[in-house]
Copies of this chain bind each other. A is one copy, B any other.
């Protein structure tokens, strides 16, 4: 990525002003009660429906411009918020309104020996900036989650979705004015100038958390240049390990689901590891089923020996997130070799063992330190909705604060609250 030019002062003033107003709004937002925040969410849903024609027209314009710029068809399709995506977006708002408000929750209350009561109270983080590419529904989803957790939000979507994002934001801000939420709490960067991002990344006085969602280039840029704490939603090189004792039928079903349910998601299966003692009994059946679904198998020598349709794998494959109908397959000597492979090539995302051996299952959960580690289930469960978090701002690959699927709780922090009767330090 080319070094950015020094941003012009006018743009700096514009972006800094937006962030300063968001920080001021965040103070008011922390004091808002749940009913007001929910009223904003539900009014947003109503106003979005009422403005649907206008928003879809903006969305059509974005797609047309993308086609003219010869953006590949799958990426143009990702821009669309019509039909089912629209309905999901609206349903998502109702879901977030129904979630329990995390702000003000008190836990860990206990009395110290000197009579001082100590507890933790959950509070908003302040101002959260989201920098994301494509998928304009993120504008609505992220705003709802951030505001529900009491935060102001600064949204900087992809330039391809500019018109859609502006149209959506206009409605969200109108709903804010109508329901007593400070409209500056929903700040949308209204320029496609990439220099705006460079400015945002340095506003650590105004912004408390930065969440980049997008390609590796964006995430690297943010990590390397931000002075604000960052939670990344980076790639997932997810593994399944077929243990010696695995049930062949269960392995086949789980692996098909993990690879094919959705190809272009970070929790999709990318590398299959197989215990040597299961390679003849289980592997051919699994690979045959995948191959019939059009999945290209890239295997090590032992894999090619038991499945002749496999192509030879290269070292690069182990570190590749395909997001496509391709699977890398390796036969390993034992349980420890599977763990060693994941430690060398994994991305700390999602790793599943298929086993009937209790000790190996427990050891897997204990020793594999990825954000989601499971026994006998699909990698699809690395997902906030499927894990019961109620909603998901994304899947964090950062170990700090929120590791793995990240819901409302990840958009808050906790303070210590003390209740005394004159206690002094000892």
Measured CB to CB, the residues of A under 8 A from B are: 27, 30-31, 104, 110, 112, 116, 118, 121, 123-126, 204, 208-209, 223-224, 227, 229-231, 247, 250, 253-254, 257, 261, 343, 352, 361, 365-367, 369-378, 380-383, 386-388, 398-401, 403-405, 413-426
Q: How far is the CA of A426 from the CA of B387 in the complex (A)?
A: 12
Q: How far is the CA of A210 from the CA of B208 in the complex (A)?
A: 17
Q: Do A418 and B209 contact each other (CB < 8 Å), given the known contacts A30-B369, A426-B386? A: no
* Sample of 20 more A-B contacts, CB < 8 Å, known A110-B388, A204-B223: A27-B343, A31-B367, A112-B388, A116-B381, A208-B399, A208-B400, A229-B229, A229-B398, A247-B422, A250-B422, A352-B418, A372-B415, A375-B420, A376-B419, A376-B420, A377-B421, A378-B424, A380-B424, A381-B425, A387-B416
Q: How far is the CA of A247 from the CA of B123 in the complex (A)?
A: 29
B373 touches A420 (CB 8 A): no
- Which B-chain residue is minimally distant from A261 (CB atoms)? B425
Q: How far is the CA of A52 from the CA of B368 in the complex (A)?
A: 40
Residues on the B chain within 8 Å of A419, using CB: 361, 365, 374-377
B415 touches A404 (CB 8 A): yes
Q: How far is the CA of A419 from the CA of B118 in the complex (A)?
A: 35
- Which B-chain residue is minimally distant from A343 (CB atoms)? B27
Interchain nearest-CB distance for A222 vs B (Å): 10
Residues on the B chain within 8 Å of A381, using CB: 116, 118, 418, 420, 423, 425
B388 touches A421 (CB 8 A): no
- Which B-chain residue is minimally distant from A228 (CB atoms)? B223
Residues on the B chain within 8 Å of A104, using CB: 366
> Which of B116, B343, B415 is within 8 Å of A403, CB to CB?
B415
* Residue among A361, A367, A381 with most chain B CB within 10 A: A381
List 22 contacting pairs A-B, 8 Å CB cutoff, sorted by A: A30-B367, A31-B367, A116-B381, A204-B223, A229-B400, A253-B422, A257-B424, A352-B418, A361-B419, A369-B415, A370-B415, A371-B416, A372-B418, A374-B418, A376-B421, A377-B419, A377-B420, A380-B425, A381-B420, A381-B425, A399-B413, A404-B416
B374 touches A417 (CB 8 A): yes
Residues on the B chain within 8 Å of A423, using CB: 376-378, 381
- Which B-chain residue is minimally distant from A267 (CB atoms)? B425
Q: Do A118 and B387 contact each other (CB < 8 Å), given the known contacts A223-B227, A375-B420, A422-B376? A: yes
Residues on the B chain within 8 Å of A374, using CB: 416-420
Q: How far is the CA of A404 from the CA of B266 in the complex (A)?
A: 33
B365 touches A121 (CB 8 A): yes
Q: Do A413 and B400 contact each other (CB < 8 Å), given the known contacts A27-B343, A118-B387? A: yes
Q: How far is the CA of A422 from the CA of B415 in the complex (A)?
A: 40
- Which B-chain residue is minimally distant from A251 (CB atoms)? B422
Residues on the B chain within 8 Å of A125, using CB: 399-400
Name the 5 nearest CB pairs between A and B, nearest first: A380-B425, A377-B420, A374-B418, A401-B401, A257-B424
> Which of B116, B401, B403, B413 is within 8 Å of A377, CB to CB?
B116
Residues on the B chain within 8 Å of A425, using CB: 257, 261, 378, 380-381, 383, 386
Q: How far is the CA of A420 from the CA of B118 in the complex (A)?
A: 38
A388 touches B118 (CB 8 A): yes
Q: How far is the CA of A197 from the CA of B55 in the complex (A)?
A: 50
B30 touches A422 (CB 8 A): no
Interchain nearest-CB distance for A153 vs B (Å): 15
* Residue among A116, A381, A416, A426 with most chain B CB within 10 A: A416
